[in-house]
Chain A
Amino acid sequence: MSEFAIELRDVVKKFITPEGNELAAVNHVTMQIKNGEFFSMLGSSGCGKTTSLRMIAGFEWPTEGEVYIDGELQGRKPPFLRPVNTVFQSYALFQHLTVFQNVAFGLEMEHTSKNDSRRRVGEALEMVRLTGMDKRYPKQLSGGQQQRVALARALVKRPKVLLLDEPLGALDLKLRKEMQLELKSLQKEVGITFIYVTHDQGEALTMSDRIAVMSFGKVLQMGPAVEIYERPANRFVADFIGESNFLDGSVKSVKDGQAVVYISAWGQELTGIVTSKVNVGDEVAISIRPEKIRLSDQSTPNAISLDGTVVNSTYIGSDTHIYLDVRGQRLKVWEQNRVSTLDPRAYYQNGQKIQLSLVPENTLVLPKE
Chain B
Amino acid sequence: MFKRLRESKSAQGTLLIIPTLIFMVGMLIIPLLLTTVVSFGHPNANGGVTYTFSLDNYIRLLGFTNDCPPGIKTCFTTLYLGILWRSLTLGFNTTVLDILLAFPLAYFIARIHPKWRDTLLFLVLVPMWTNFVIRVYAWMMILREQGVINSLLGWTAGLLHVPFKPLGMIYTPGAVLVGMVYEFLPFMILPIYTSLEKIDNSLYEAAADLGASPFRTFLRVTLPLAMPGIVAGTILVFVPVMGTFIVSDLLGGAQVILIGNLIQRQFLDARDPTFGSAVSLAMMAMTIVATYFYTRKFGFGEEIVV
Contact = CB atoms under 8 A, between A and B. Distances in A.
A79 interface: yes
B111 interface: no
B211 A110 contact: yes
Nearest to A103: B210
A85 B210 CA distance: 7
Interface in B242-294: none
27 contacts: A59-B205, A59-B208, A79-B208, A80-B207, A80-B212, A80-B213, A84-B209, A86-B205, A90-B200, A94-B203, A94-B206, A94-B207, A94-B221, A95-B305, A96-B224, A96-B225, A105-B207, A106-B211, A108-B220, A109-B210, A109-B211, A109-B212, A109-B216, A153-B210, A154-B210, A157-B210, A157-B211
Contacts of A95: 225, 305-306
B202 interface: yes
Interface in A43-70: 57-59
Given A95-B305, A96-B305, A109-B216, A78 B208 contact: yes
A154 B203 CA distance: 13
Contacts of B213: 80
Q: Give the interface size class of chain B.
A: 10 to 19
B79 to A, nearest CB: 45
Interface of B: 200, 202-203, 205-213, 216, 220-221, 224-225, 305-306
Contacts of A78: 208
Q: Give the interface size class of chain A.
A: 20 to 34
Contacts of B209: 57, 59, 79-80, 84-86, 154
Interface string A149-163: 000011001000000
A273 to B, nearest CB: 44
A84 B221 CA distance: 20
B210 to A, nearest CB: 4
Given A59-B205, A88-B205, A154-B210, 6 more contacts: A79-B209, A84-B209, A86-B206, A105-B212, A106-B211, A109-B212
Contacts of A85: 209-210
Contacts of B305: 95-96
A59 B209 CA distance: 9
Contacts of B225: 95-96
Nearest to B224: A96
A109 B224 CA distance: 16
